[in-house]
Amino acid sequence: MPIRFALLVVASLASSLAGAETIEMKVNGLVCGFCAQGIEKTLRKNPATADVLVSLENRLVAVATKEGQDIPDGELRKALTASGYDVKSIQRTDTPLDALRERLKEHP
């Protein structure tokens, strides 16, 4: 029974990740628009990227992935490191990027 429960949890988690629309990353060193420009340019080159949002105020880089696609954490960290920045955390959410953009506008 505990094994079934664990499998259910894993399946549910996997399903949640597969359907994730937005990847939010906390990034150190984000202090100017030029930093953001390089990061955005790099992330947009990834074929799984649908849209990119950079917020200096929140030290946040968010990537919307194309439907059914994901970008592995390792690839994200590599992209940010290759841009000259340090990723502190990566989190996947169901919040659409446009909704996140609006939320940050209202409550930066």
Instruction: Starting at the earlier edge strand, list the strands of the sheet with 60-65.
Output: 49-55, 60-65, 22-28, 86-93
Among 17, 82, 99, 102, binds another protein (CB under 8 A): 82
Q: Which is nearer to another protein, 19 or 29 (CB)?
A: 29
Residue pair 27/88 in contact (Cβ under 8 Å)? The answer is yes
Q: How far is the CB of 81 from another protein (least distance, A)?
A: 9
Q: Under the criterion CB under 8 A, does residue 91 sit at the interface with another protein?
A: no
The number of residues that bind another protein (CB under 8 A) is: 24
Q: How far is the CB of 75 from another protein (least distance, A)?
A: 15
Q: Under the criterion CB under 8 A, does residue 103 sit at the interface with another protein?
A: no
What does the binding site for another protein look like in residue numbers (CB under 8 A)? 28-29, 31-39, 41-42, 54-57, 59, 82-86, 108
